[in-house]
């Protein structure tokens, strides 16, 4: 008599059948010519089945709920908060004590910055991982991590963590075995016996950190190898052409998913595949790998999303959200770097024409099974990703504009309100990258009177209202909701002094946070304003990420305009990027669908004057 198949096994088989067309054609294209492919495929299916069998029952129910509600992450109730654990509360257990604060702000998505066990000493901010299955002991234990994930889930909050795919720390167990001469583990990395091949690759590679980590290879005389190290000497690039690496990472993904992770932020994905004669970035095989990894999650942990970190130009970034053969099958989320860059560009120039051109020309009005992670500042530096072609389209010099933005936000350009810090300089092009907190770049640090402080507050709230109205999940980086300014204390820390990005990674000021309710200070005003923005976002159904977003010309170079087109009606986003009053024709707004002339952000009517809609300095309006 045949053994009855359990309900769990039936669900797994159904999910495997559903995702098989997304998985196996990719694997066959990548690894099918290898003699060990059949055995690899069987081992992968067994690993997926084990991952599903080990999945806790409450997470299996979450899988089912999100299968039935596949747009859950596109809904306007989603709002993210991102922080370094040690800078926020010091420990994972400390996070539990601050969930009321996050809930008060309106957060439903929490990104714990790198928390897996890093190498000792310099670990690139935690991105040099030596053990994917252990928590950084400075923050706590895996039991503490699971307690945080359960507490978040109980409050309807999703948990995001970083999973570095391009490299491991040289102290990782795989790398240690490779260094001892184990040929199987040497094939996990890209290792060469002579410098000949590295020199050939170097002819077309770019340097990611030319000031601190020049070149892309490191010679280790003790082991007689040249190792591919794109980012830092202590970060060894993985060899994704080896299917054993794919299988190892899938098992890691399922392990973390079963600990309660909702979103895997896949770090440095653009660099995963190497090809001679190219930059070794965003090669076609990268997208095959990412589609296959996504399919593995859908089979054994269907509740989990993939956020793909690729800070590149729009044409190169959009495929990470699935284009062409990968449409709807690759990443669920990717960072909208262009929105951030164009916000700062328009704020400095008081002119939205470049912003309108870039955002209206290079991005589709909607995505399939995916959306953006929108942000104004993050843990990293700002690179002025403005192409010469886009600059020329609005009559400016690309090189000149990038130089202007660097000077403006470093704080050296005459008349600037910003105060930032230089991060790195590309000596070949002269392009510079800038560090700085949201509040300091927006002018709060340099403000000398109440009027200046008020303008800085308005610029901050303009940014938060923009990312909340755009398609995607808005991300608030720790401290931006309290207008924390630059932290120059990093210069006194030998581990941080060489890296100006620590200027915008301050420690949380809990005294300011406690005073947020009744005070009339810039931090309190920014907190209350941000909280209101997120609350009004939740109440505005047209901001669902599945609804089209169409950038339109306002006819006024000071005002950005875009439509969110929903079956229930259009929301017309209007954003004044200047310190002065601006106006737009009432008839123009009505023609674009804002017939009620009601501001969904302030939840108040908008009264025209002599046929014109008046916009105060740094106004942000969600007109219905």
Active site residues: 267, 309
Residues 6+ apart with CB under 8 A from 126: 84, 113, 114, 115, 116, 118, 136, 162
CA distance 577 to 343: 9
H-assigned helices in 398-506: 398-410, 438-441, 450-469
CB 607 within 8 A of CB 588: no
Looking only at the bridges linking them, the beta strands covering 116-118 and 559-566 are unpaired
Within 10 Å of residue 469's Cβ, how many Cβ atoms?
Answer: 29
Helix (H) / strand (E) containing 166: none
CA distance 267 to 385: 19
Q: Cα dihedral angle (513, 377, 374, 91), rounded to 10 degrees?
A: -50
Q: What is the separation, in whole angstroms, between the first and last Cα of the chain?
A: 65
Backbone angles phi, psi at 551, to 5 degrees: -75, 135
In 3D space, the residue among 550, 133, 159 whose CA is nearest the CA of residue 359 turns out to be: 550
CA distance 551 to 388: 21
CA distance 22 to 69: 20
């Amino acid at each position: 008599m045949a053994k009855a198949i359990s309900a769990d096994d039936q669900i797994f088989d159904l999910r495997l059948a559903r995702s098989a067309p997304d998985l196996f054609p990719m694997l066959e294209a990548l690894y099918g010519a290898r003699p060990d492919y059949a055995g690899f495929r069987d081992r992968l299916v067994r690993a997926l089945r084990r991952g599903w069998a080990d999945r806790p029952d409450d997470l299996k129910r979450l899988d089912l709920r999100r299968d039935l509600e596949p747009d859950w992450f596109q809904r306007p109730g989603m709002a993210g908060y991102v922080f370094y654990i040690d800078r926020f509360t010091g420990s994972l257990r400390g996070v539990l004590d601050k969930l009321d604060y996050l809930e008060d702000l309106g957060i439903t998505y929490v990104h714990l910055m790198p928390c897996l066990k890093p190498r000792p000493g310099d670990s690139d901010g935690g991105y040099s991982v030596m053990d994917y299955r252990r928590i950084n002991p400075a923050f706590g234990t895996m039991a503490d991590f699971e307690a945080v994930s359960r507490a978040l889930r109980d409050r309807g909050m999703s948990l995001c963590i970083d999973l570095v795919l391009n490299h491991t720390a040289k102290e990782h167990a795989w790398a240690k075995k490779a260094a001892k001469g184990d040929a199987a583990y040497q094939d996990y990395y890209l290792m060469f016996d002579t410098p000949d091949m590295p020199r050939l690759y170097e002819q077309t590679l770019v340097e990611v950190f030319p000031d601190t980590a020049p070149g892309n290879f490191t010679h280790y005389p003790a082991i007689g190898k040249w190792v591919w190290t794109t980012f830092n000497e202590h970060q060894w690039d993985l060899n994704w052409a080896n299917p054993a690496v794919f299988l190892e990472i899938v098992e890691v993904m399922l392990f973390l998913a079963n600990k309660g992770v909702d979103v895997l932020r896949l770090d440095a994905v653009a660099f995963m595949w190497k090809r001679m004669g190219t930059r070794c970035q965003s090669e076609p095989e990268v997208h095959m790998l990412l589609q296959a990894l996504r399919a593995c999650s859908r089979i054994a942990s269907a509740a989990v999303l993939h956020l793909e970190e690729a800070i590149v130009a729009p044409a190169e970034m959009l495929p990470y959200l699935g284009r062409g053969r990968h449409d709807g099958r690759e990443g669920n989320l990717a960072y909208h770097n262009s929105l951030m860059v164009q916000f700062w560009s328009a704020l400095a120039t008081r002119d939205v024409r470049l912003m309108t051109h870039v955002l209206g020309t290079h991005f589709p009005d909607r995505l399939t099974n995916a959306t953006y992670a929108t942000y104004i500042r993050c843990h990293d530096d700002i690179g002025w990703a403005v192409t010469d072609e886009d600059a020329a389209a609005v009559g400016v010099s690309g090189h000149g504009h990038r130089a202007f933005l660097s000077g403006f936000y470093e704080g050296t350009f005459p008349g600037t309100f910003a105060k930032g810090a230089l991060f790195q300089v590309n000596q070949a092009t002269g392009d510079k990258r800038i560090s700085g907190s949201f509040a300091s770049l927006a002018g709060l640090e340099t403000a000398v009177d109440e009027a200046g402080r008020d303008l800085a507050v308005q610029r901050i709230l303009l940014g938060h209202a923009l990312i909340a109205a755009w398609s995607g999940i808005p991300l608030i980086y720790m401290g931006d909701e309290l207008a924390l300014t630059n932290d120059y204390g990093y210069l006194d820390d030998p581990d941080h002094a060489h890296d100006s990005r620590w200027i915008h990674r301050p420690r949380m000021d809990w005294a300011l946070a406690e005073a947020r309710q009744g005070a009339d200070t810039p931090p309190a005003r920014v907190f209350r304003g941000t909280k209101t923005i997120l609350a009004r976002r939740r109440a505005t159904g047209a901001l669902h990420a599945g609804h089209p977003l169409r950038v339109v010309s306002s006819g006024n170079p000071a005002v950005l305009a875009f439509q969110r087109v929903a079956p229930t009606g259009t929301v017309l986003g209007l954003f004044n990027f200047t310190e002065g009053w601006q106006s737009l024709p009432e008839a123009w707004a009505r023609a674009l669908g804002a017939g009620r002339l009601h501001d969904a952000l302030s939840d108040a009517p908008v009264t025209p004057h002599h046929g014109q809609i008046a916009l105060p300095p740094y106004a942000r309006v969600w007109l219905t």
